[in-house]
Amino acid sequence: MHPLAIELNKALEGCVAGSLLSDLGKRLYFPKGIVAQSAEAKKYAKALNATIGLATREGSPLFLQSVRKLVPELGPEEIFPYAPTQGVEALREAWKKEMLRKNPDIGDAPFSLPLVVPGLTAGISILADLFADRGDTLLLPDMYWDNYPLVFETRREAVITTFPLYDAAGGFNVPALRAALKRQAGRKCMLLLNFPNNPTGYSASVGEAGEIVAAVAEAAAAGTRLLVICDDAYFGLFYEEGTFTQSLFARLCGLHPNVLAAKVDGSTKEDLTWGFRTGFITLAAKGLTPEQYDALTRKLMGGVRSTVSNSSILAQSLILRALKSAEREGEKVEAFRLLKARYDAVKTIVAGRTSEVLAPLPFNSGYFMSFLLRRGKAEDLRRALLQQEVGTIAIDERCLRVAYSSVDVDKLPDLFDRIYAAAEKL
């Protein structure tokens, strides 16, 4: 094992983060190689800098004017150089400030400075590299994004164990979560929660959020070492009163010494920058020292450096500029209103329909709603709809997802008329 990895592991001894590390996580480190030495040279080599593989002219990046003219408001340093492995520092600080504003329940609990990754998928994958070993358990609600198995089972050989997302009343099934956690008592366990949920569009209520946190605290107190990943891809898109509008990370980050909370979020949906591929990883656990947060950050940086190297500086510069913009919040409010109008329209449509085939699953947030098929197969319905030039997603054998976020509000009645009609013909 590399001496730098040994040094980081020693710093993490005795805390939950160190005990949760996978074999790969234990081996990861951030090398004092080209990137680290170039960063040091950038700070101190004021006369001449011959470190990084970057072409310059008179101290500024060399560029093609045909490219430069496409982004006139940014300076060359915001467009062309490599970004630091951990991300642009000003953006990390700005995102931290945003996190605190949106999640007041964090209070004074310490957490790591958000680390930039190229999209939320990369963030989840790097966390899996750090913490998931062959045979480790990942707990998921039974309605989940189809990329989780690819990341955790295919790449890391962890074992996904599910519990029912909904209880009999159509709310979050806290008793099922509590029972699933009890089955992991005294062991290492990973729990991944995604609110608003993909594919169902469900988010926990204020009361359910409290119960989820209480269930995690009970498991931790019983000796279970937990990594709880909050996939906040659709954060902020909460449409109903009584929904918990913060990230669960806010309640988990100072919960118990046996709980390592990880927040994976980004500008993707929050700022409508899907193709920018800019996400963030933030970690927290009760009792972690600044030295331990630094060790975790360096292991995350090792994960980034050894896979994608760094994230786009252009995308980061644009997001940072947007965060400072006076118009941003007003524009986000307008985008929210547009999406909520679509949500309201879909709620009205499905409330006014009865079907022997389709049962809409509870939804209150995000981009999606899903139907449970009482008979027939979702794939057959999806194919039948394609014949009508309508696209939907078959999540599994009995669940069809509809992304109403991508359909103008005046076209939603036609969309659902076609879905119901095709279902009745199955």
Its pTM stands at 0.94
- Strands 279-284, 358-360: pairing is unpaired
Confidence at residue 40, expressed as pLDDT on a 0 to 100 scale? 63
State whether 77 and 150 are in the same domain: no
Q: How confident is the model at residue 376 (pLDDT cuts 50, 70, 90)?
A: very high
Q: Give me the pLDDT at residue 54, please.
A: 79
Range of the domain at 375: 328-425
Length of the chain: 426
Q: Are 15 and 287 in contact (CB under 8 A)?
A: yes
pLDDT per position as a tens digit, 14-65: 999 999 999 999 999 999 865 656 666 566 656 656 667 778 888 888 889 9
152 with 214, same domain? yes
Q: Residue 87: name the closest of 249, 300, 324 by CA.
A: 300
Number of domains in the chain: 3
Please check whether residues 271 and 347 belong to one and the same domain: no
Q: Residue 375: its pLDDT value, please?
A: 93
300 and 385 co-located in one domain: no
The amino acid at residue 77 is E
Q: What is the mean predicted confidence (pLDDT) over 235-260? A: 97
Cis peptide leading into 196, omega within 30 of 0?
A: yes
Q: What is the pLDDT of residue 30?
A: 95
> What is the average per-residue pLDDT within 103-113?
97
Domain boundary among 62, 81, 100: 81
Q: Which tens digits make up the pLDDT trace of 276-313?
A: 999 999 999 999 999 999 999 999 999 999 999 999 99
Residues 209, 179 share a domain: yes
- Interval 82-111 mean pLDDT: 97
Q: Which one of 298, 323, 348 terminates a domain?
A: 323
- pLDDT of 29 reads 96
Q: What is the pLDDT of residues 217-242, one digit of tens each?
A: 999 999 999 999 999 999 999 999 99
Q: Which residue has the tokens 């806290």?
A: 174
Could you tell me the two tokens for 342? 């679509």
For the cut 80, the answer to whether the pLDDT of residue 128 exceeds it is yes
